[in-house]
Chains A and B, each alone.
Chain A
Amino acid sequence: MRAFARLYEELDRTTSTNAKVAAMAAYFRSAPPGDAAWALFFLTQRKVKRLLPTRVLWELTLELTGLPPWLLEHCYAAVGDGAELVTLLVDRPAGRPPAEERSLERWMRERILPLKDMDLAAQALAMRGYWSELDTVQIFVLNKIITGEFRVGASATLAIRALAQVAEVPQASMAHRVMGDWQPSPEFFRGLLAPQRESRLDSHPYPFFLASPLEEEPAALGPREEWMAEWKWDGIRAQLVRRGGAAYVWSRGEELVTERFPEIAVGATRLPDGTVLDGEILAFRERVLPFSVLQTRIGRQKLTPPILAEAPVAFMAYDLLEEGGEDLRERPLGERRARLETLLARTASPALLASPVVEGAAWEELARVREEARARNVEGLMLKRLSSPYRTGRRRGDWWKWKIAPYTIDAVLIYAHPGHGRRASLFTDYTFAVWDQGELLPVAKAYSGLSDEEIAELDAWVRRHTRERFGPTRAVEPVQVFELAFEGIARSSRHRSGVAVRFPRILRWRKDKPAAEADTLESVKALLTVRA
């Protein structure tokens, strides 16, 4: 545990990418394989789910410190991270006697995983004992593991780069090896470092290739005929893996979501073994339905027949990554695309569709077609280079997303709330309102879009112009106007305004605009009809 805590500390104490990779590589080389497997598990942002309810930690902290609950809330607003908050309240900065060292693997096996099967009182008693024998950094790391929010300022990509260096294999190959669901064990870690590629007779998807936003005119990309255009679907990016007689649906977050989309899983059984498709999960009934329809299904624990009937889904495939067990990623897109169409025509499943190629002989013509995007419930166009391989991660150059302009409104800042993580204790989370019959009605919350300087300026303003406090939240004088952008808008009975906006963010601080001139609910609702 001490070595892993020291690794965390090293990662936390540098902003240099190379230093982080070097620290992780050194750890992977020196740690016992069982420890290294668990370290990799956490460094790639995997979680052990539901070890204990967070309130056990909060209640234990209240008991140990004797603080009133409201003060804990205020502290949380200043820290912005539950695991860290608890650490800062229960650690003893003066130092403590060194405890017997126990490896990370033993910590997991003997102390952390067993928490799952304990009752609340036993969990609290165990945590109390652990906290009393650890130093500040180790308590923090332990709490991060327990709360399942282990983020350390080093991305999974960096951890994979470090491990690829240790194993002396290409990064893409290591990325593939650590994808998907696996149990940390010494054997698993040794397998990762083995020189030969293991057989792909398993469930793992390939690392996703991500598009970059197109910031210039498409003509800058060169001749039109070197590019393929498709709709940019507004759904859930996923890979469909058909291997070993089974089918797996993986979301981009490397989450196995097969059971959430039975229609697609059934459709996949018609695919020949050794097939991997890349595409998008969409709400679909004869045509693509808005994202808000898909959303009604995402949060549900149980898929009842009415839900399946109201929000049916399909898999819109746009790439073929593996066929007949052969990895096709190095083949040019043109070839993969042709094979995809042939394959799906043979499969003939209503749940598996081929994303149509959008025609348009010249860039100008495509630009005109793109204007239909909103009516088609898509976000714009994708432009893909026909000669390109299927790459890993967000590599600029071959895949571009050419989105339509978002919806925008001018809204008034009414509440400010402290942020999380590195924005803790700064007011960075905002609630915005528009006018409705002389009253300001909340329509959106937004967290991003301002520069650091603007955040600092607004934070100082919020502190000086607070009208009322609700715990850490401040109600402010309604004078600051912001231009907000969002991707979609839908009717909602759960919001007082009657509308829900999707992915709202701040475009501009409209210091030139008085609050009285901000948008009205009526003008916001008018946007609903644009889509219909």
Chain B
Amino acid sequence: MAELLVSTPVGLFCPAGGFHVDPWGPADRAVLTHVHADHARPGSAAYLCTEASAPFVRRRMGDAAIVQGAAYGERIRLGDAVVSLHPAGHVLGSAQVRIEAAGTVWVVSGDYKRAADPTCLPFEPLRAEVFVTEATFALPIYRWPEPETVAAEVMAWWERNRRAGVASLLFCYAMGKAQRVLAALAPFTDRPVLLHGAVAEMTELYRQQGVTLAATARVAEMPARRSYAGELVLAPLSAGGTPWVRRFGERETALASGWMRVRGTRRRKGYDRGFVLSDHADWPALLRTVEEAGAPRVLVTHGYTEELARFLRERGLESGVLATHFEGEADV
């Protein structure tokens, strides 16, 4: 049986279709699963992504980049392969890449989750001969609580800090996680949530596609010497520990990430609180997804790759590691 994807120095390459999936080096044609930095890198001649991802990709790659947006499920012929993009439930516009060629079907999951997320379409189970999966949280200790429970915890934390007269500084990914938090808080509050510039830009792109989010305002537009007591602020991880956070005065800090399931990980960086909220599949969801794909062969790209592959092998599947430069949910 033909290998529809092979590992090359610039990324995963499809010889039948003459394209790369999420290449980390320059490629002639890049098919993108989603727009996080470890999957969508500048330098390729042309990009194919979902219509919902296209505005984000254009923003990242610049106006000169050739970016083609495809509808979910649209069948596109590339060389001798037929490619289609299907919802992955990871972030807005995220996709699995289905590749049909030489009488076989491969599906590349990209990053995905199975938990409910009002900011993007839910993961669509696909059948495949070979399923290429991520494994960011592929250890059985990673099992997520219900997102509504976590949203209620975030609200309670903010409320408590508000009564204590301190600011609540919540760190999260600027693209995806921040908007998921804003969507989850929308039913609970009319108080505007304050955003770091990087979060605000992404949030604007979400709103343009009609995603319902809580009211927001930019920190940058606040008057100087304003008090932030009682406010909730969303900021990217990179803003932590910088002079930017000093303006908030007395504050509690938190991180929203799947890694927060483990106490030591949170304590290492000194966040007061950790909210277990991930845009990746947890252990049960990974196993369920592999089962639903019905693939006799499963390749694992990033995260706890050795562990997932070995576990699947012991369950009678053919499974191995497909080395990539993807990072999954960056550790804190």
Contacts and interface: CB of A to CB of B under 8 A. Distances in A.
Partners in one complex: yes
Interface of A: 12-15, 65, 67-68, 70-71, 74-75, 78-81, 84-85, 88-89, 93-95, 153, 420-426, 452, 469
A74 B264 contact: no
Nearest to A77: B139
Contact of B139 (A75, A81, A84): A75
A88 B262 CA distance: 8
Interface string B131-147: 00000000111011110
B270 A15 contact: yes
B163 interface: no
B263 A94 contact: no
14 contacts: A13-B272, A15-B270, A70-B310, A71-B139, A71-B307, A74-B304, A75-B139, A88-B261, A88-B262, A93-B276, A424-B264, A424-B265, A425-B265, A452-B268
B328 to A, nearest CB: 13
A422 B264 contact: yes
Contacts of B306: 469
Given A71-B307, A74-B307, A79-B262, A85 B141 contact: yes
A13 B145 contact: no
Contact of B311 (A71, A94, A423, A452): A71
Nearest to B270: A15
Q: What is the size category of the interface that chain B forms with chain A?
A: 20 to 34
B162 interface: no
Contacts of A421: 264, 267
Contact of A89 (B140, B145, B272, B276): B140
Contacts of A67: 140
Interface in B81-129: none
Contacts of A71: 139-140, 307, 311
Contacts of B272: 13-15
B149 A78 contact: no
Given A14-B272, A95-B149, A424 B262 contact: yes
A79 to B, nearest CB: 6
B277 to A, nearest CB: 12
A-B CB proximity, top 5 nearest = A424-B264, A422-B267, A88-B141, A93-B145, A422-B268
A469 B314 CA distance: 19
A471 to B, nearest CB: 11
B41 interface: no
Contacts of B276: 93
Given A80-B264, A424-B264, A425-B265, A75 B141 contact: yes
B139 A74 contact: yes
B273 interface: yes
Contact of A423 (B139, B144, B264): B264
